[in-house]
């Protein structure tokens, strides 16, 4: 039997590249639906199983992110040596089944274990995808292509709110877990038939353990990369924190649990914002120099703060809903540009590792620190009715200012550290 890719690619290689991008986009959507669903269902899980806000923060953050980050480094190494197609599809199958299994949880330990396996399997995805996309598309299109892929984050998060939230309201949180998990199995079958493993453009196909460390050192020795990682990890901390606790703000502060599912519409808008940011980044690079792609990181760091401030402390739930959502759209626009930027600092046979390093840092800082620390602040420091709002705004302000300073430093070192 001939695979789909043999027929399609032979007739139109460019169309095939974009078709594969579209499928990888759908897989990325699936990963974020399953990753985000714990936060969407957080208050329901908390109330049903008697958890605290800190425990929900741990489930959404460290239970997933620590193993995701550690395994991601090795997955990046594997992606530079073995079949990226197989790595992606095996990971997709495991995290989909683990999400379904979460619907049967009766304890904190059960959910932590399921999230552990979701983290391991999802760590296989993006390093392999980044490497594939860099082989399928030329460098001058990278920010746009990576931004399109990255916009799947927000489509996935949006669907998680809309589908997961709606199913939970109509039935319960357990059914919601099962509903969002099963579609990934269908994508495994489609991916097996459609995705071709392209020939790598350069570099050795195998590396020893010592070479693994040499590549890691090569990447981290660059000053621009270190400032890049500092800035985008801080933005990810803000981003994952709002996704973890926007439901808490709407439920506990504004007493509007029915609006949690509707928040998903802002995530679709954030996906559009990510694509626009990638397009603008490439335009800025052409007109003013490649280091100006970092400007879009600064826009994300500072642009959402006024909207967050007025939204988190609004008297009207409608005003709060709209302003927080708009702030989230602006603050999330950096994602595609961030994924693309690190590729300019490495050789072509280091792309999987470069993507893994990026994902490692943003996972440890963003997922691993942001949600549990913010949950602790809500439980123990800001305990009044606007406590969640105060905790969130403190996190957003500190991260936005420090991220901006980091991007300015990264721009200063871009020329000396860039490879292509």
Show pLDDT as tens, one digit a residue, over the chain (420 residues).
Answer: 455 555 555 555 677 888 888 899 999 998 888 887 887 787 788 887 877 777 877 777 777 777 877 887 777 777 777 788 888 999 999 989 998 888 888 888 888 888 888 888 888 887 788 778 877 777 667 667 877 887 787 788 788 878 877 787 778 878 888 888 888 889 998 888 888 777 765 544 455 556 777 888 888 899 999 999 999 999 999 988 998 888 889 888 898 888 877 887 888 888 888 889 988 998 999 899 999 999 999 999 999 999 999 999 998 999 999 999 999 999 999 887 887 888 889 887 777 678 778 878 887 887 778 888 888 898 889 988 899 999 999 999 999 999 999 999 999 999 999 886
User: How deeply is 348 buried, as exposed, middle or buried, from its count of CB atoms within 10 A (0-12, 13-18, 19+)?
Assistant: middle
In whole angstroms, what is the distance from residue 324 CA to residue 263 CA? 10
Residue 156: other Cβ atoms inside 10 A: 27
User: How deeply is 157 buried, as exposed, middle or buried, from its count of CB atoms within 10 A (0-12, 13-18, 19+)?
Assistant: buried
The answer to whether 244 and 55 have CB atoms below 8 angstroms apart is no
pLDDT at residue 231 in the model: 95
pLDDT at residue 243 in the model: 81
pLDDT at residue 7 in the model: 54
* pTM of the full structure: 0.73
- Tell which residue, 194, 341, 242, 359, has the closest CA to residue 282: 341
DSSP states of 54-66: HHHHHHHTHHHHH
pLDDT at residue 207 in the model: 53
pLDDT at residue 244 in the model: 80
Q: What share of the chain is helix, strand, coil (3-state, %, to 5)?
A: 85, 0, 15
Domains and CATH numbers, the chain: 7-197+205-417 (1.20.1250.20)
pLDDT at residue 1 in the model: 45
């Amino acid at each position: 039997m001939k695979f789909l890719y043999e027929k399609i690619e032979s007739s139109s290689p460019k169309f095939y590249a974009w078709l594969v991008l579209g499928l990888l986009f759908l897989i990325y959507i699936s990963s974020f639906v399953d990753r985000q669903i714990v936060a969407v269902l957080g208050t329901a899980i908390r109330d049903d199983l008697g958890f605290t806000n800190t425990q929900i923060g741990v489930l959404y953050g460290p239970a997933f992110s620590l193993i995701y980050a550690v395994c991601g480094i090795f997955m990046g190494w594997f992606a530079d040596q073995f079949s990226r197609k197989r790595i992606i599809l095996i990971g997709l199958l495991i995290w989909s089944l683990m999400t379904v299994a979460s619907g049967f949880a009766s304890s904190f330990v059960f959910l932590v274990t399921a999230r552990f396996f979701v983290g391991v399997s999802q760590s296989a995805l993006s390093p392999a995808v980044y490497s594939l996309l860099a082989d399928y598309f030329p460098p001058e299109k990278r920010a746009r292509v990576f931004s399109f892929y990255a916009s799947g984050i927000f489509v996935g998060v949006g669907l998680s709110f809309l589908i997961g939230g709606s199913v939970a309201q109509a039935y319960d949180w357990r059914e919601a877990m099962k509903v969002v998990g099963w579609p990934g199995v269908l994508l495994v079958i489609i991916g097996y038939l459609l995705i071709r493993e392209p020939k790598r453009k350069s570099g050795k196909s195998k590396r020893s353990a010592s070479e693994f460390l040499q590549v890691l050192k090569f990447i981290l020795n660059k000053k621009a990369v270190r400032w890049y990682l500092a800035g985008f990890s801080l933005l990810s901390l803000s981003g994952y924190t709002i996704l973890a606790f926007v439901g808490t703000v709407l439920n506990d502060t504004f007493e509007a649990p029915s609006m949690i599912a509707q928040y998903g519409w802002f995530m679709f808008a954030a996906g559009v914002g990510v694509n626009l940011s990638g397009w603008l980044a490439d335009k800025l690079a052409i007109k003013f120099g490649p280091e100006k792609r970092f400007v879009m990181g600064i826009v994300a760091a500072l642009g959402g703060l006024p909207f967050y401030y007025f939204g988190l402390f609004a008297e009207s739930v409608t005003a709060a809903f709209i302003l927080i959502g708009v702030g989230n759209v602006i603050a999330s626009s950096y994602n595609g540009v961030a994924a693309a930027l690190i590729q300019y600092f490495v050789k072509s046979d280091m792309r999987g590792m470069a993507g893994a390093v990026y994902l490692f840092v943003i996972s440890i800082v963003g997922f691993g620190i942001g949600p549990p620390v913010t949950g602790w602040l809500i439980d123990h420091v800001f305990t009044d009715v606007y406590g969640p709002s105060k905790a969130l705004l403190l996190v957003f302000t500190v991260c936005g200012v420090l991220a901006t300073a980091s991007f300015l430093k990264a721009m200063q070192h871009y020329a000396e550290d860039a490879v292509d």
